[in-house]
């Protein structure tokens, strides 16, 4: 049975301060939770027997059987699925995000959790295992962002740090810093490396002025045809997809 206290606890995890306080986050949905159980420590889970029957051994410290459709009481979804789970927040080492040996995405002030979650999913698709975020980027462990990752967070580590300081340290090692800016060079005509950092900026303001001078390889995604009037800019998640696809195409 799902107690009122557990419902209240789940609902509280919508707010970052309570996720930090309890060192926990919530995930729900059949495939998403199945992916997450292999990557994060599960404190407890509420699931229907129909979902449990497809999973085999479920590594949850506490497993509650939902026999009375109680998931809807705590769900953040309009149409709740068969499982909701509470996981412990992970601890990552930003030193693993070594841009000298791999591509790393850096996010400068991304505000929309849906965009953030989609970028995590894109990173997973294109084999980017680390994303480094500015401290004011949306929290990837919010319910909306978790949902948008579609389970990709099980394979992509998201780090939060002083982005400007981190990029300076990367630049000091002569590692290329790519960034999409309006006066950059056509991405389809520029040489691209198999490692380095791809910096993507805020939805409305782009890469902030303090970070823009650090970009050693400014890139631009051209519209087509060049002379045609078009939209002012691309959604940051779509732009990230185009950039990552071009990097991987070169390989």
CATH of the domain at 30: 3.30.1330.30
pLDDT at 134: 98
- The answer to whether residues 104 and 221 belong to one domain is yes
Q: How far apart are CA 176 and CA 136, in angstroms?
A: 24
How many domains does the structure of the chain reveal? 2
- The answer to whether residues 84 and 102 belong to one domain is no
Residue 64 belongs to domain spanning? 4-88
Choice among 4-13, 78-87, 161-170, 218-227 with the minimum mean pLDDT: 218-227
- The answer to whether residues 145 and 233 belong to one domain is yes
The Cα-based distances of 102 to 23, 25, 143, 197, 207 in angstroms read 30, 29, 29, 8, 22
Of residues 127, 152, 157, 129, the one with CA closest to residue 249: 127
Give per-residue pLDDT as tens, 90-110. Answer: 999 999 999 999 999 999 999
pTM of the predicted structure, to 2 decimals: 0.94
- The answer to whether residues 67 and 157 belong to one domain is no
Look at residues 54, 88, 122 and tell me which one is the last residue of a structural domain: 88
- The answer to whether residues 177 and 213 belong to one domain is yes
Look at residues 63, 88, 113 and tell me which one is the last residue of a structural domain: 88
Give per-residue pLDDT as tens, 10-34. Answer: 999 999 999 999 999 999 999 999 9
Q: How far apart are CA 208 and CA 109, in angstroms?
A: 8
């Amino acid at each position: 049975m799902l107690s009122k206290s557990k419902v209240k606890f789940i609902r509280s995890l919508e707010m970052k301060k309570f996720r930090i306080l309890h060192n926990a986050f919530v995930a729900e949905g059949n495939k998403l939770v199945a992916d997450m159980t292999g990557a994060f420590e599960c404190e407890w889970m509420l699931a229907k027997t129909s979902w449990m029957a497809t999973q085999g051994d479920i590594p949850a410290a506490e497993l509650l059987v939902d026999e009375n459709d109680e998931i809807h009481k705590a769900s953040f979804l309009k149409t709740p699925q068969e499982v909701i789970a509470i996981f412990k927040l992970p601890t990552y080492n930003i030193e693993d995000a070594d841009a000298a040996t791999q591509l790393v995405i850096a996010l400068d002030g991304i505000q929309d959790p849906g965009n953030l979650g989609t970028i995590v999913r894109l990173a997973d698709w294109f084999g980017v295992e680390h994303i480094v975020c500015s401290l004011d980027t949306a929290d990837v462990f919010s319910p909306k962002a978790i949902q948008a990752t579609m389970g990709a967070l099980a394979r992509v580590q998201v780090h939060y740090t002083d982005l400007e300081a981190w990029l300076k340290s990367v630049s000091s090692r002569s590692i290329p810093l790519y960034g999409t800016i309006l006066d950059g060079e056509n991405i389809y005509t520029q040489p691209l490396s198999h490692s380095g950092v791809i910096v993507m900026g805020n939805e409305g303001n782009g890469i902030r002025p303090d970070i823009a001078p650090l970009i050693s390889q400014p890139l631009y995604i051209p519209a087509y045809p060049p002379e045609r009037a078009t939209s002012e800019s691309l959604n940051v998640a779509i732009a990230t997809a185009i950039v990552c696809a071009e990097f991987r195409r070169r390989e």
